[in-house]
Structure 1
Amino acid sequence: MKILYPEIQPFQTFFLATNSVHQVYVELSGNPNGIPVIFLHGGPCSGTKPDHRRFFNPEQYQIILFDQRGSGQSTPFGELNANTTQDLVNDMEAIRNKLAIEKWLVFGGSWGAALALVYVAQHPTVVLGLVLRAVFLARQRDLAWYAKDGANRIYPEQWLQLMASLPEPSTDLLTTLCQIFWGDDDALKAQAAKPWLTWGALTALGNDYQPKALDINERSFLQIKMELHYAQNAYFLTENQLLQSCGHLQHIPAIIIHGRQDFFMSYRGGF
């Protein structure tokens, strides 16, 4: 059973201007005088959802959600220029300064957990604590387990469907997908999009995954391109950068939550 706090609406929304084409959507809900907590969504490019506000007690927390560059309600959707991990970290600091927050709690899951660790490594003095869920360390070994050899042994049926969606057999799935989604053949993109999105949902949710009809459109293509943009650029991190930075963060209170269905992320996270 999933137990969340009651549905709430934001009391403030705005778009954060950047030094680029990006306009970053930010919303505040809960208690304006409560403990500030910033929520970092996964993906990259999955965006925030109304239920994300419900992770936090609205009487105790000032809940800050933002859609990372090119995601959700941020504009332009799917824009890859000036869209790196460091850009996202800079946006977080710009949000904190705009809201005149001295210190805040940082909450992230999956890719959001990786982003949280990058942020706190650079700005440890402004972090009250960390809550990390389904940790992902964005290493090449983690990505290879997901998209080459590892998860395919756990979900072989869906893996075979994904491989069958490619125009020809491939031993380098990510490179092949990049060729497809940076190409001009929309029919081929649509053919590969559904199995790829299904693969991501299945490996993230495990036994909780429920097959559903997917509306594949241009927005789907842009979302996938952003995922691939980060993956092909090693998430703009050096190998093992996040683990190497953790030794300097021992003074920051942290909670790591790994559930039974997080076995996949458990390997990716290295814990």
Structure 2
Amino acid sequence: IILFDQRGSGQSLPFGELEHNTTPDLLDDMERIRTHLAISQWLVFCGSWGGALALLYAQRHPDRVLGLVIRAVFLVRQQDLDWFAKDGANRLFPEQWQQLLDSIPADSDIIGGLCAALWGDDELAQRRAARAWMAWGGQVTLGHGYQDPRLSVAHITETMVRQVRMELHYAQHRYFLTPNQILDNCASLAAIPTVIIHGRLDWVCPIEAGYRLHLALPHARYIVLDQAGHIAQGADMIDALVTATDAFTASGFAYGS
């Protein structure tokens, strides 16, 4: 099992570095890892933004992918970006959305206003913006199970600010993709065994995206978990992911085709 953190994130160094940090760079990194480890083909297993990267990687290198396990489908369409940061999830969690709005100038769009604060000279404004974005993400990800820690601005570290900058660096550039890029190139995945697993209670990446991907990849196994949300750690999601990977191994990587 090979795990890696994308450029500038997690344990990848330098942490928070945005230069030469685009989606094509991340796809190049995945291929470098494969060649460095002398792996001829591999099963690619990812969720959410990672799942989008997995699909993009497989579209670029279909001959290197034994299979795909995609959780919490994120297609990076404009409607997906708008759902999270413009008009969609805000109607589910209006109180937390208002806190996000309160962190930026009244005449700003969410992404633009947050970016202006995060890259501005006012350190206090940077921390407020980071705190508001993290709280919004936690609320939408965990739903009614979220408990806002209500951190004071003083508890927002430089690491947290850099983490949020990384997220918004990609969001403000539309993840460095052309409109509808993933769905428009799904024909190249027709020969790759694929499993799509999506929670019906996913408020970050609504289930419509999983269904749309299944329509574009009719050969794929499409699994809906009625009580699962966005995260991978729920019991139903864990069982489904383990079952999918075990089935790939047992079938000689024919599962999902």
Q: Which amino acid aligns with 2:181?
A: Q
Secondary structure (helix, strand or coil) at the match of 1:262 reads coil
Q: Which residue of 1 aligns with 2:14?
A: 76
Separation (CA, whole Å) in 2 of partners of 1:209 and 1:160: 16
Displacement of 1:141 after TM fit? 1.7
**Cross-structure match for 1:164:** 102
Structure 1 position 101 matched with structure 2 position 33? no
* Residue 122 of structure 2 corresponds to residue 185 of structure 1: yes
**Shift of residue 140 of structure 1?**
1.7
In the alignment, structure 1 residue 209 sits paired with structure 2 residue 149: no
1:176 counterpart residue number: 113
Q: Secondary structure at the match of 2:190?
A: coil
5 Å matches for 1:1-271? 63-166=1-104, 168-212=105-149, 214=151, 215-266=155-206, 269=209, 271=211
Does the CA-based 8 Å contact 1:134-1:262 persist in structure 2?
A: yes
Distance in 1 (alpha carbons) for counterparts of 2:186 and 2:203: 22
Alignment CA distance shift 1:234-1:268 (3 Å): farther
Question: Aligned in 2, Cα 1:188/1:171: closer, same or farther, shift over 3 Å?
Answer: closer
Q: 1:255 to 1:210 in 2, by over 3 A?
A: farther
Opposite residue 188 of structure 1, the aligned amino acid is A
Between 1:171-180 and 1:233-242, the stretch displaced more is: 171-180
1:267 offset after TM fit, Å? 5.3
The structural deviation recorded for 1:270 is: 5.8
| CA-CA distance at 1:238 after TM superposition | 0.4
Matches of 1:150 and 1:251, distance apart in 2? 35
2:8 and 2:17 in contact (8 A); partners too:
yes
AA aligned opposite 1:175: G
**Aligned-partner residue type, residue 125 of structure 1:** D
Specify every segment of 5 or more residues in structure 2 that has no aligned partner in the other structure, as ranges: 212-257
Q: CA deviation at 1:72?
A: 0.7
**Offset of 1:248 from its aligned partner?**
2.1
Shift of 1:170: 3.2
Higher helix share: 2
Whether the 8 Å CA contact 1:136–1:268 is kept in 2: the answer is no
**Equivalents in 1 of 2:178, 2:8: separation in Å?**
23
- 1:151-171 per-position Cα deviation (integer Å, ceiling 9, x unaligned): 1111001001111122x3135
* Alpha-carbon distance change, 87 to 193 in structure 1, aligned in 2, over 3 angstroms: same
Specify whether residues 217 and 182 from structure 1 end up closer, same or farther in structure 2 by C-alpha distance, changes over 3 A only: same
Q: Tell me, which stretches of 5 or more residues in structure 1 are unaligned?
A: 1-62
Identity %: 57
Q: Distance in 2 between matches of 1:221 and 1:124?
A: 36
CA positional deviation for 1:261: 2.6
Which is richer in strand?
A: 1
What amino acid sits opposite 2:128 in the alignment? Q
| Count of paired positions | 208
Distance 1:177 1:253 in 2: 40
Deviation at 1:212, TM superposition (A): 3.2
RMSD: 1.6
Change (3 A) 1:161 1:78: same
Alpha carbons of structure 1 residues 263 and 187: separation in structure 2 relative to 1, 3 Å: closer
**How far apart, CA to CA, are the structure 1 residues paired with 2:86 and 2:61?**
34
Partners of 2:204 and 2:156 lie apart in 1 by 26
